[in-house]
Structure 1
Amino acid sequence: MSVCPKNLWFAVIGLTVMRFGSDDCNGQVNDAAPAGVVAVDQTTAAPVVIAHRGASGYVPEHTTEAAVLAHAMGADYIEQDVVLSKDGVAVVLHDLTLNDVSDVAKVFPDRVRPDGRWYVMDLMLAELQQLTLTERRSEGRPWKQAGTRFPLEQGRFRIATLEEHLRLIDGLNKSLGRTAGVYVEVKDPARHRDAGLDSSVEILKVLKSA
């Protein structure tokens, strides 16, 4: 009995985009595949390295510095979690809230919600860019440095837009002669819709223009 392995498709459209689930069991490009798509048998291909939130074990997550370091370390893909600002700009952050990774409580003390949290979608992009990022300070993460390596008072890490990340990675690809792809995750689209924002549409606009 033979088993047909799934193939992993890579489509290069300026930046690299992943597609899963080819039905071709011979390791060949499926006739129905778009031009430029190559089928790779997952049973024989080398492991794909995805930098989770960039090189987040070394510098604050989702910063441009984390993306640069991940690229330098040879990651095949660099992940971007994406949420929207109040004015609908796609920014690269893991959470809908800012408490655990920034100095938002100090910069905008009056923007806190009744639940004690500060939300990305409550701040305009220009306001988000005034914040300083640090390592995640969540409790219950003993393997983390809890912000001690890059405390707020010593860092100048900033929130960047998805467009800035894509341009940066594309530039690094051209400068260094190797292709690192992007691995974009849309965070909590339902919560965005409740706030009158369509994160999926805005993210697709950025990807199409890259």
Structure 2
Amino acid sequence: LSRDNQLIVIHDIYLDGVSNVAEIFPNRNRSNGYSYVIDFDLEELRRLTIRERFRPFNGTQIFPLRFPSNSVITFQLATLNETIELLLGFNRATGQQRQLLIEIK
């Protein structure tokens, strides 16, 4: 959930290990060192580049073979509504019936 009450699709409650939040919003982390999704509006979250999970303390990737660090592929966070619309469009286009498994955090 974002600060402006948008349902955000992300595995974690914080942004540090999957985005450039420290670069875009320096000094916005909490006293424990983490930058939480709920502390940002959707417009702010859209400014972030989402990438393969990495270790914030040294920048090494957790899963280096999925999307290499030198990949030109970048991602942005999506709202739950956007994700549902994407899935519905995929289902219509392919004739398949894929579903979502939503885990609330």
Q: TM-score, normalised to structure 1's length?
A: 0.45
Residue number in structure 1 paired with 2:64: 145
Shift of 1:155: 3.4
Whether the 8 Å CA contact 2:54–2:62 is kept in 1: the answer is no
**Count of residue correspondences:** 102
- Equivalent runs, 1:161-180 vs 2, <5 Å: 161-180=79-98
Change (3 A) 1:104 1:146: farther
Change (3 A) 1:96 1:137: same
For residues 150 and 88 of structure 1, the distance between their equivalents in structure 2, rounded to whole angstroms, comes to: 32
Residue number in structure 2 paired with 1:102: 19
Higher alpha-carbon Rg: 1
Q: Which runs of 4+ in 1 moved over 4 A?
A: none
For residues 146 and 111 of structure 1, the distance between their equivalents in structure 2, rounded to whole angstroms, comes to: 31
Whether the 8 Å CA contact 2:53–2:62 is kept in 1: the answer is no
Residue number in structure 1 paired with 2:72: 154
Letter in 2 for 1:171: G
Residue number in structure 2 paired with 1:181: 99
Whether the 8 Å CA contact 1:132–1:155 is kept in 2: the answer is no
Shift of 1:146: 7.9
Letter in 2 for 1:172: F
Percent of aligned pairs sharing the same letter: 37
Change (3 A) 1:148 1:178: closer
CA RMSD between the two structures: 2.4
Residue number in structure 2 paired with 1:135: 52
Stretches of structure 1 that go unaligned for 5 or more consecutive residues are 1-83, 188-210
Shift of 1:112: 1.2
Change (3 A) 1:117 1:146: farther
Whether the 8 Å CA contact 2:9–2:78 is kept in 1: the answer is yes
Residue number in structure 2 paired with 1:86: 3
For residues 106 and 179 of structure 1, the distance between their equivalents in structure 2, rounded to whole angstroms, comes to: 39
**Greater RCO (Cα-Cα under 8 Å, separation 6 or more):** 2
Structure with a larger share of its residues in strand: 1
- Equivalent runs, 1:1-210 vs 2, <5 Å: 84-138=1-55, 144-145=63-64, 149-151=68-70, 154-187=72-105
Stretches of structure 2 that go unaligned for 5 or more consecutive residues are none
SS at 2:8's partner residue?
Answer: strand
